[in-house]
Structure 1
Amino acid sequence: MIRQSGLGLEFQVEIERRCDCGCGEDGLLVVFEGPDTDLLLANRSELLTALEHVTAAMLRLPASRRRVLSFDVGSLRAEREQRLYCEAAVAMNLVESTGRMYSFAPMVRRDRHILIHQLEDHGLHAESVGVGWHRHVVVYPSTGLAYGGVGSSPPAESSSGLSSGTSPSLGLT
């Protein structure tokens, strides 16, 4: 498919031993290089994400296993995952030290999935909330005092759809 596209792209397929997607399985990593990689990264990596989705469909991967397939340009997604792990660590510290929930800025599904797995691996409850481009991850403390106290109601959402404690986005997706 890539070779027939006419794009100036080369790719290498690697087995990612026990990939960092939170599933504990080996993964397939497809790394692209070449003069047209900027096209893959344009518009928040829409083409790269679409190629990954089409490839997963062609391989007939069920939705529950699609996270084992990862497309990258150079090492940009790998670097993004490292930044997400750092963001998760900051959020974990804030939630545990304050006992209050924490909301991340809106992000793409893959990034939300990485964050949720990372946070849950450390004993915190995290979930994806919101609709469309406003979908984001909310982290709750392990003490059960998610909204600041037992019996209190969740904080009102702002006009942007986010609660207090929202972090700025890191940009690269």
Structure 2
Amino acid sequence: MTDNTDNAVSAPAVSNTVKRLEEEGEIGADYLEELLDIADLGGDIDIDVDHGRASIAIVASEEGDERELADLVGRDGEVLEAVQELTRLAVQARTGNRSRLMLDINGYRAARREELTKIAAEAVARVHASGETVSLAPMNPFERKVCHDVVAAAGLVSESEGAEPHRHVVIMLPEEDEEPGIDDAGSADSANSAEVGEQGQD
């Protein structure tokens, strides 16, 4: 006879988690809607739950919005990171819990993720070919997390080195006696990515 006790317990837990994340998304969306109104910027707000966290995307609702929303992304996504952190703080003020909400504006993160995936994959190929350690350019926590994930999936080891704003990902072959994947530094990136100013992930 099969014991379904674990499943019976986990189902409500999953449901409660999704409900909590949806609530975070709603609170964050309200905050961002007010921000857009104050800044007189156009855009639609989409809410989702993705990879265990609330996810909000601000997208252009009409022609011309892309240029306006670009100001909320800023150079290298710096303004986006700041707005995301403010949104997380707004959620925390309402819920009393730290939020790992992820914000994307104008598809910046999605495009950057695709670009970083290619960069990390190329670096992985170089490590495989040469056996030498490869260091990537300095990146913010969100970007480092993307690279760590690509490296781990390829069976190599990565770690973050240096101090902000020069913190960067280093990729290497795994030691024979260790499991492929992210080392302690990489894991820190992963855990915090949730949090960020993405300040996230590192």
Q: TM-score, normalised by structure 1?
A: 0.67
Could you tell me which amino acid in structure 2 is paired with residue 12 of structure 1? I
Give deviations 1:81-127, integer Å, cap 9, x for gaps: 11111111111111112111100011122101111122112221111
- Greater Rg by CA: 2
Residue segments in structure 2 that go unaligned for 5+ positions in a row: 1-33, 177-202
For the 8 Å contact 2:55–2:102, the answer to whether it is kept is yes
Change (3 A) 1:72 1:49: same
Residues in 1 aligned to 2:36 and 2:166: alpha-carbon distance in whole angstroms = 36
Which structure has more RCO (C-alpha within 8 Å, separation ≥ 6)? 1
Q: Give deviations 1:4-62, integer Å, cap 9, x for gaps.
A: 4233232322325xx4xxxx436413123225213113233222211111112222363
What is the match of residue 94 of structure 1?
A: 126
Paired amino acid for 1:30: A
The residue type equivalent to 1:10 in the other structure is: G
**Equivalent of 1:120 in 136, 143, 152:** 152
Structure having the larger proportion of residues in helix = 2
After superposition, residues 68-107 of structure 1 pair within 5 angstroms as 68-73=101-106, 75-107=107-139
Letter in 2 for 1:14: I
1:7 to 26, 30, 40: 40
Check 1:83–1:3 CA distance in 2 against 1; reply closer, same or farther (3 A cut): closer
Cα 1:58–1:69 shift into 2, 3 Å:
same
CA-to-aligned-CA distance 1:102-156 (integer Å, 9 cap, x gap): 0001112210111112211222111111112211110111246xxxxxxxxxxxx
TM-score, with length taken from structure 2: 0.58
In structure 2, C-alpha distance between the alignment counterparts of 1:40 and 1:30, rounded to whole Å: 12
| Aligned-residue CA RMSD (Å) | 2.2
1:44 paired residue number: 76
What is the aligned counterpart of 2:168 among 131, 136, 147? 136
Change (3 A) 1:27 1:118: farther
SS of structure 2 residue aligned to 1:59: helix
| % identity of equivalent residues | 22
| One-letter identity of the residue aligned with 2:103 | S
Give runs of ≥4 in structure 1 deviating > 4 Å: none
In structure 1, how many angstroms separate the alpha carbons of the residues matched to 2:118 and 2:88?
28
